[in-house]
Amino acid sequence: MDLFSWLSDPSAWVALLTLTVLEIVLGIDNIVFISILSGKLKPEEQGKARQLGLLLALVSRILLLLSINWVKSATATVFTLPIPFLPADGQNFSWRDIILGIGGLFLIWKSVKEIHAKLEGEEGHGEAKTMPSLAAVLAQIMVLDVVFSLDSVITAVGMADQIGVMIMAVVIAVGFMLVFSGVISKFVERHPTVKILALSFLILIGVNLVAESTGAHIPKGYTYFAMAFAVLVEMLNLKVRKNSEEPVKLHESFPDK
């Protein structure tokens, strides 16, 4: 397998650029999830958790790309389940559907749990606040990395033909995320309403994953438009709150002597 034969192919460079941008866009939800989970750790462990989480995402995506034949066969039917209101032959489920469905449910559960914790307060129902271990956080990150990676890799397989182009796009995208993950994490932690909005986005993504696993196709354009509109409104809210918190400057005029 020659991973660098594409270097002399101009069309491969166009595919690399397009795929890299797409991987970065698809990876933003991964950064948000990692940022929220790492924020529950001790301050000295948060940076390590973000870096290790993104490196785990990189490794999982490269391994999936290298087992490209399995990825392509992941869309083959594993079993058929009769579901009410569907055709008599039932709904077909592939390994991709199973992984996306389980991952979507986990994402919904985790996000709802985090929102509940924020609403109830850090101590929740009088229980002592306990910080999770680095290993526990990394285990949760790894579960979602597989889900996000599978969807991302299947997208890559549909957009490019050369394995080298796919791997290079993933490496560049993860490198970009490593550089900016700290900035995004600090911004999310500094603004509680942004954190709730990010968790709401993760619930929306989880619902999309579950729906997709059952064969219901929700156009991603609708989801991205709703998310972009919500972000725009939240940015306006942040600007208004910032202006209202700034001290009022009194300009006094004194008569000339």
**Boundaries of every domain in the chain:** 5-74+85-244
pLDDT digits (tens, 9 = 90+) for 202-241: 788 888 888 888 877 777 777 778 878 888 888 888 888 8
Task: Say if residue 73's pLDDT is above 70.
Answer: no
Q: Are 53 and 38 within 8 A, CB to CB?
A: yes
* pLDDT of 249 strictly over 60: no
Per-residue pLDDT of 161-181, as tens digits, reads: 677 777 888 888 888 888 887
pLDDT confidence bin for 107, thresholds 50/70/90: confident
Output the pLDDT for position 193: 82
Q: What is the value of pTM for the model shown?
A: 0.65
Q: Give Cβ neighbours of residue 148 (< 8 Å, ≥ 6 apart).
A: 26, 27, 29, 30, 57, 103
Give the best-scoring range by mean pLDDT among 87-96, 108-117, 125-134. Answer: 108-117
The pLDDT score that the predictor gives to residue 231 is 82
The answer to whether residue 77 scores a pLDDT higher than 50 is yes
Q: From the CB of residue 190, how many other CB atoms can be counted at a distance below 10 Å? A: 9
- What separation in angstroms does the CA of 32 have from each of 36, 56, 156, 236? 6, 15, 21, 20
pLDDT band (50, 70, 90) for residue 252: low
CB 4 within 8 A of CB 119: no
- Answer yes or no: is pLDDT of 126 > 50: no
Residue 30 has a pLDDT of 76
Query: 144-157 pLDDT, tens per residue?
Result: 777 777 766 766 66
Mean pLDDT (the chain) is: 75
